[in-house]
Chain A
Amino acid sequence: MAIEPIVEVRELSKVYLQGETNVVALNRVSVGIQAGEFVVLMGPSGSGKSTLLHLIAGIDRPTSGQVLVRGINVANLNESALAEWRNRNVGFVFQSFNLIPVLTAAENVELPLLLTSLSSRQRREHVAAALDLVGLTERAKHLPRQLSGGQEQRVAIARALVTDPLLVVADEPTGNLDSKSATDVLTILQSLSREANKTVIMVTHDPKAAAFGSRQLHLEKGEIVA
């Protein structure tokens, strides 16, 4: 039985104009991703992994083609609708964590909830649940600089999860972490897809990290090769 894919990428291209020459970062890529999949994007540097991830997550716009998430063509949304769509549907985990330095762990996790209609009590409950999931309840009041890199990334994952998004995207989330912290982070991402049926898309260079995924996509020169 074929299930309707949650993410459907159709003929997606991204061309950057670099001076006089065009750089084709993505060349007519098509792929479908099902709910609960943990897709790992691999490939050499410059092959277009990040570009694909950004287009799916709605933080960049394609040159041509479509990204349909639950049937919505992300590229068609205007700036403010897209911002709202990201807030509701995508949790983003960055390689360099990107926590807000002046806000505590709990306040960082709460940020995306401020754009929802939740009451402050509901927000507090969601934040507590998300921090509990990443095992950082104890560190709620700490500032990012008072946390280790691994802890920072777990806070970032809590922030990505707290809105209960459809998609969690992560660009080299373990790139700046030691192997123990990396394993913690990967385990959390894996359990998200397995237990919470979230769709997780992760870019990595590390084959060990890739092993946590349920499916691997290889890119080369802007095309999916395997």
Chain B
Amino acid sequence: MVIPIRYHVRNVTVRWRSTLATLMGIALVVAVFVLLRALAAGIEKSSAQTGDPRNVLVVRKGSQAESSSLVTREQLQALQYLDGIARNSDGQPLISADVITLLLAPRASGDGEANLLLRGVTPRGRELRPQVHLTNGRWLEPGKREVVVSENLARRFKGLEIGGTLKAGIGRLLVVGTFSAGGSAYDSEVWMDADEARLLFEREMYSSLILRPVDEVAYRSLTNSIESDKRFALRAEREVEYYAKQTLTAVPIKILASLLGSAMSVGAVFAAMNTMYAAIGSRTREIGTLRVLGFSRLSILLGFLLEGGLLAFLGGLMGTSVSYGLYQYVILRGITFGTMNFQSFSETTFQFAMPPILLLVGLLFSILVGVIGSILPAWRASRIPVISALKSL
């Protein structure tokens, strides 16, 4: 049998004042760790959520990004009559050619300008991306110099509010609506009519094609006939797979989270160790008494590991609560983060993502910090001689 848990629980809660600093230290470590991981998760989510598993994206062979790809009108003509492309309710094949350009726009914060990704789309192109939905204003009209912008960009750039205008070469584009795209890469884009975009930017060619095969068999035969035709020199892959490779890498932030997390957790381990040494030092007689009553060294050792874990768990609870609160605040206020995507060279926005597992990891992490920090103090506690019960302190 072991020492009753309530003995340790009460000791932790009774001493909360003296352990508050340690609790807050552990809370801080956990909060930093969880928030950095939430940022990384947000970045990963923005790629994972882009694309429809049924869609196939076609780009020029050898081009890394849609923006550097070229597809001719002849290629579009040839491809749209291939067998196996799904059709919409009007009987038209679900294939669309997009025109991608970059536009420089001033940041709302005032510090300089950044590239925006402008996508020229056809009505078919919109049909193929149902996750993009209008949130305000109206949709753009074909043949007009109008754009709809993602809400994230509308917040982050000047002139992107409805009624505002965006400088594009010699002309100006009128913002008529805003859309949101469920946290996908489209949430960092400005959309206009494809043909109008080609006129405006004097582009003979399209950038990419998007199409939807009727089924899996059609998918294989379509990609096969597109990729094997030497005249085309095109590459076809699932839209989801393309974006999975395309969007920002979360690796640097993950590395930062691990480095910072481990550096700070070393500090937290020492804080926990210090607190536990102090706790045990002031309870020498009490521990000796438990030994007189017959509790074994092992039960003392386990008890104090538990107590340290419990202490740190409370800190972890504080830290994850703070992170979660911050996350809710950021979501509620619609705050997004932006960074340059080095594949498309345009501003890419993303949000925190806080899957429950992340909070759980934060809590486990805190318990681990407490238990590790308690190993030496608990060991010392277990070696306290029985006779210490008699020495009044």
When C-beta atoms are compared, the residue in chain A nearest to B12 turns out to be: A102
Provide 18 A-B residue pairs closer than 8 Å at the C-beta atoms, listed in order of the A residue: A57-B292, A59-B291, A60-B386, A79-B297, A80-B297, A83-B295, A84-B294, A86-B292, A96-B285, A96-B392, A102-B7, A102-B10, A102-B11, A103-B7, A111-B290, A114-B1, A114-B3, A159-B293
The verdict on B259 contacting chain A, using a C-beta distance below 8 Å, is: no
Task: Please state if B4 and A50 are interface contacts (CB–CB under 8 Å).
Answer: no
B272-292 residues with Cβ-Cβ distance < 8 A to A are 285-286, 289-292
Nearest B residue (CB) for A103: B7
Q: CB of B390 within 8 A of chain A?
A: yes
Contact A60 B387 (CB under 8 A): yes
Asked if residues A111 and B293 are in contact (CB atoms below 8 Å), the reply is yes
In whole Å, how far is A141's beta carbon from the nearest beta carbon of chain B? Answer: 14
> In the bound complex, what is the Cα–Cα distance between A94 and B391 (angstroms)?
10
Contact of B4 among A95, A114, A159 (CB under 8 A): A114
Contact between B292 and A100, CB atoms less than 8 A apart: no
Question: Chain B's nearest CB lies how many Å from the CB of A49?
Answer: 12
Whether the Cβ atoms of B286 and A101 lie closer than 8 Å is yes
Q: A95 to B392: give the CA distance in the assembly, Å.
A: 9
Q: Does B14 contact A (CB under 8 A)?
A: yes
Which 10 pairs across A and B sit closest by C-beta, in order of nearness?
A87-B294, A102-B10, A98-B289, A59-B386, A112-B293, A115-B294, A83-B294, A114-B1, A86-B294, A115-B1
Chain A residues positioned under 8 Å from B389 (CB to CB)? 59, 92, 94, 98
Complex CA gap A156/B101 in Å reads 84
Name the distance in Å between A41's Cβ and chain B's nearest Cβ. 15
What is the CB-to-nearest-CB distance from A48 to chain B, in angstroms, rounded to a whole number?
14
| Chain A, 86-131, CB within 8 A of any chain B CB | 86-88, 92, 94-96, 98, 100-103, 107, 111-112, 114-115
Interface assignment of A37: CB less than 8 Å from any CB of chain B: no
Question: In the complex the two chains form, what is the Cα distance from A108 to B1 in whole Å?
Answer: 16
Number of contact residues on A: which range applies?
20 to 34
Report the minimal beta-carbon distance from A63 to chain B, rounded to whole angstroms.
Answer: 14
Contacts of A54 in B (CB 8 A): 387, 390
Interchain CB contact under 8 A, A80 and B10: no
Establish whether residues A100 and B296, one from each chain, have CB atoms under 8 Å apart when the complex forms: no
Quote the shortest CB–CB distance from A50 to chain B (angstroms): 7
Q: How many residues of B contact A (CB 8 A)?
A: 24
A residues sitting closer than 8 Å to B (CB atoms) are 50, 54, 57, 59-60, 79-80, 83-84, 86-88, 92, 94-96, 98, 100-103, 107, 111-112, 114-115, 159, 171
**A54 → chain B, closest Cβ, in Å?**
7
CB distance from B381 to the nearest CB of A (A): 14
A80 and B123 CA atoms in complex are apart in Å by 81
Contact indicator B294/A112 (Cβ below 8 Å)? yes
Interface set of B (CB-CB < 8 Å, partner A): 1, 3-4, 6-7, 10-11, 14, 285-286, 289-297, 386-387, 389-390, 392
Report the separation of the CA atoms of residues A84 and B291 in the bound assembly, to the nearest whole angstrom. Answer: 10
Q: How far is the CA of A57 from the CA of B294 in the complex (A)?
A: 12
- Which B residues are in CB contact (< 8 Å) with A98? 285-286, 289, 292, 389
CB B126 to nearest CB in A, in angstroms, measures: 66
Chain B residue, CB-CB nearest to A80: B296
* A100 vs B3: C-alpha distance when bound (angstroms): 12
Q: What is the CB-to-nearest-CB distance from B292 to chain A, in angstroms, rounded to a whole number?
A: 5
Provide the bound-state CA to CA distance between A50 and B166, in Å: 92
Nearest Cβ distance between residue B309 and chain A, in whole angstroms?
A: 18
Measured CB to CB, the nearest residue on chain B to A98 is B289
**Other contacts beyond A83-B295, A100-B290, A107-B4: 20, CB < 8 A:** A50-B390, A59-B291, A59-B387, A59-B390, A60-B386, A83-B291, A87-B293, A87-B294, A92-B292, A94-B289, A98-B285, A98-B292, A100-B289, A103-B7, A107-B6, A111-B4, A111-B293, A114-B1, A115-B1, A115-B293
